[in-house]
């Protein structure tokens, strides 16, 4: 019978144990950095850059069209008219047969019910950005008022003067 000598079993030294623990730690730190980079870049793109100045995001497009940018500006003017209680100004932003359905109740531009609803205005109204605008002249956004946060869906005329065809608000 032949006896073969083998090397003594390697013992874990403090240095090899530290190195073994460091590898997963380094991997975890790198994964976190990559996640932060991806998340930060996504936020930067959605919010329109470092200063968050982009107020409109075009659905399915890299850049909003002129009409979509016009819709974003229209929404800002519409918001201001509501804040000031300018019923005539708000109603003038609708087509003659335009409708506003707010929490299940429909008001019309042509019969005075919308102007009556506006009353003294909504000084606390704040339309949140960005506004999502689709190529079929629809806009989706959130707004806050004293009563809470609501979702808005607006449909605009497809050509000519930009006017609201309908505005729906729900919780």
pLDDT given at position 88: 96
108 close to 114: Cβ distance less than 8 angstroms: yes
143 domain-assigned: yes
Tell me, yes or no, whether 153 lies in a domain.
yes
pTM over 0.85: no
Longest dimension (CA), the chain: 110
Expressed as residue numbers, the domain containing 23 is 11-48
Residue 98 in contact with residue 166, Cβ under 8 Å? yes
Q: Are residues 89 and 160 in the same domain?
A: yes
**Claim to verify: residue 160 and residue 118 sit in the same structural domain:** yes
Quick check: is 1 in a domain? no
CB atoms within 10 A of CB 83: 15
**6 is a domain residue:** no
| pLDDT value at residue 56 | 81
> How distant, in Å, are the alpha carbons of 48, 142, 152 from that of 44?
6, 20, 24
> Is the previous residue joined to 120 through a cis bond, with omega within 30 degrees of 0?
no
Q: Quick one: pLDDT at residue 30?
A: 47
Q: What is the pLDDT of residue 58?
A: 84
Residue 3 lies in a domain: no
Cα separation, 91 vs 22, in Å, equals: 66
What is the pLDDT, as a whole number, of residue 8?
57
Residues of the chain with pLDDT under 70: 1-54
Indicate if the alpha-carbon torsion angle 43, 49, 51, 55 is positive or negative.
Answer: negative
Is-contact 64 100, C-beta < 8 A?
A: no
Q: Is residue 21 one of the residues assigned to a domain? A: yes
- Counted domains in the chain: 2
What lies within 8 Å, CB to CB, of 123 at 6+ separation is 83
Residue 69: which CATH number?
3.10.450.50
Residue at 5 is within a domain: no
Residues 37 and 62 in one domain: no
Q: What's the confidence (pLDDT) of residue 82?
A: 96
């Amino acid at each position: 019978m032949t006896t073969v000598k083998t090397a003594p079993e390697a013992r874990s030294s403090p240095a090899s144990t530290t190195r073994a623990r460091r590898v997963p730690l380094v991997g975890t730190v790198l994964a976190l950095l990559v996640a932060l980079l991806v998340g930060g870049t996504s936020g930067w793109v959605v919010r329109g850059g470092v200063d968050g100045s982009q107020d409109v995001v075009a659905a399915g497009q890299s850049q909003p069209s002129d009409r979509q940018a016009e819709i974003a500006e229209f929404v800002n003017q519409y918001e201001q008219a509501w804040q000031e209680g300018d019923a005539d100004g708000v109603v003038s932003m609708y087509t003659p047969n335009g409708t506003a359905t707010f929490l299940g109740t429909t008001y019309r531009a042509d019969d005075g019910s919308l102007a009556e609803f506006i009353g003294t205005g909504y000084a606390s109204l704040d339309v949140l950005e960005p506004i999502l605008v689709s190529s079929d002249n629809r806009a989706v956004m959130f707004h806050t008022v004293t009563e809470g946060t609501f979702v808005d869906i607006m449909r605009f005329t497809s050509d000519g003067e930009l006017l609201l065809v309908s505005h729906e608000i729900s919780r």
